[in-house]
Amino acid sequence: MSEPAEPLTPEETWSTLQRLLDRAEQESSPEAREAIMETVALFLQTLGPSDTARCFDRLDEDHRDRLFEYLDAESAADLIESLPTVQGTELLEHAAPEKAAAILEELPSDEQADLLTTLEPESFESILAVMDPDVAEATAALAAYPPYTAGGLMVREILAYEQSATAAEVIENLRRRIDEVDDYDVQYIYVTDEDDRLVGVLRLRDLLLARGSRPIRSFMITDPVSVRVEKPLEALVDVFEQRSFLGLPVVDDEQRLLGLVHRDSVDNAFHERDIGAHLREHGIVGGEELRSMPIALRAGRRLSWLSVNIVLNLMAASVIAAYQDTLSAAITLAVFLPIISDMSGCSGNQAVAVSMRELSLGIVKPLDVFYVWRKEIAVGAINGIVLGLLLAGTAWLWKGNPMLGVVVGTALAINTLVAVSIGGSVPLLLKRFGMDPALASGPILTTLTDVCGFFLVLSIASTFMSQLTGT
């Protein structure tokens, strides 16, 4: 009996796929090329989503386009589901509209809408024009909902029957639609009235055990839990945290059933948005970045924020330049400048994080800025005094100069108050003026706490220079 084959390493996986694509390109016979691409499709099916994404990421642009061109619509759709949205969008942009439309029709409705909204307007329209009219209309309607709402996250693939239908009719209809329903994530069957309004929920167990002649309204669960189509992501997270449902029906203002939002979709969207905010906080602007993107594009996106940061940091440097004489006379102060800046920045970032969280949950609004400031001042005063005393004691013990401790301890205490004030209020103010708090709060906080920290240390030191230097 032969030993089982060792799994391929990432490098072997990538090189195997590249060799298959090169062989397909060299084949003059369409039949031979098709056979090779069937092998490619089977090979991709043996990989998990993460391995597929890693393998695809290592191919050059020519091989990626060839892979996408040769695969049939179903295999290409499977590939796109394994890739980050930005790469899926790029592939669809390069494909012919007919091919892109065929691939999209193989995807779940929510992924269709997500991909279409990331395309250039010309590609969006050209693909919709060649899709099945009914599918195109429904997909365009789904794509129109804001992304982080129940409407933007829901799927249309849902089983719904009118309340007058009998158990036998529903079961027979399910049997006829077995190929279609096989792709649905079926947990419940939803019951509507003649105007498509949601009136009940049906458990599959109850359906299978019911007499065939009984109308489903006689054994459905009435008053079903549902969410409105405009419900924001934060509220959806709260609903799923409070209830154990795997999915909830989505309705409009008149209680008409529109689709289903899954718990997994809500969790993934929340995680995705947090990652996007984290990237923006660190200067990755202009959308998702992957290392497979052109170097010039990636460098340009990063430089657009890094270049602004140069100007911001010059402000902090100018404060030091203005107090060169003080710093020269008491060079020990230079040791404490980064400590005060960093500790204050940490306190401020804690305040930013709480404000961002409360904004996302709707607990505070931009108009609550003074309420938030008062709350942060109370915490900042306690933390500032404690941290200031710790730093003052450290400085005194190190140099044996109590005035050095007074200078650096006082500066840290005051700068902590400044930092939490900025960190707590700036996200609300940015939100009030229509700016992205995730993008700008961090740099504003860092610059202002640096400037204030350096100014406080050096200005207080200038006042007590004789005690510091013993002259």
For range 236-260, the mean pLDDT: 89
Half-sphere exposure of residue 16: CA atoms within 13 angstroms, side-chain side: 17
Q: Is 198 left (phi over 0), alpha (psi -120 to 50) or beta?
A: beta
What is the model's pLDDT at position 118? 82
* pLDDT tens column, 420-457: 999 999 889 988 887 767 666 777 788 888 889 888 98
* pLDDT tens column, 91-134: 888 888 898 898 888 888 888 888 888 888 888 888 888 888 88
Residue among 372, 386, 464, 460 at smallest CA distance from 420: 372
Residues 344, 13: Cα–Cα separation, whole Å: 48
- Beta 227-228 vs 247-251: how paired, if at all? parallel
DSSP 3: P
Q: Domain locations in the chain?
A: 10-148, 160-279, 295-469
Residue 309's pLDDT band (boundaries 50, 70, 90)?
A: low
Secondary structure of residue 244 in the 3-state scheme: coil
Task: Say if residues 453 and 411 touch (Cβ distance below 8 Å).
Answer: yes
Which H or E element spans position 117? Answer: helix 109-118
DSSP 111: H
CATH number for the domain running over 160-279: 3.10.580.10
* pLDDT tens column, 342-351: 898 889 889 9
**Other CB atoms closer than 10 Å to residue 414's CB: what's the count?**
20
Residue 393's pLDDT band (boundaries 50, 70, 90)?
A: very high
Find tokens 């007590």 and name the residue: 464
Task: Say if residues 237 and 268 touch (Cβ distance below 8 Å).
Answer: no
295-469 has CATH 1.10.357.20 classification: yes
Tokens at 134, concatenated: 């009914």
Q: Provide the residue type at 331 as one letter.
A: I
Tokens at 417, concatenated: 């108050």
Residues 406, 457: Cα–Cα separation, whole Å: 10
The CATH number of 10-148 is which of 1.25.60.10, 1.10.10.10, 3.40.50.1220, 3.40.50.720? 1.25.60.10
Percent of the chain with pLDDT over 90: 22
Asked whether the predicted pLDDT for residue 278 surpasses 70, the reply is: no
Residues 41, 38: Cα–Cα separation, whole Å: 5
Asked whether the predicted pLDDT for residue 292 surpasses 80, the reply is: no
What is the model's pLDDT at position 115? 85
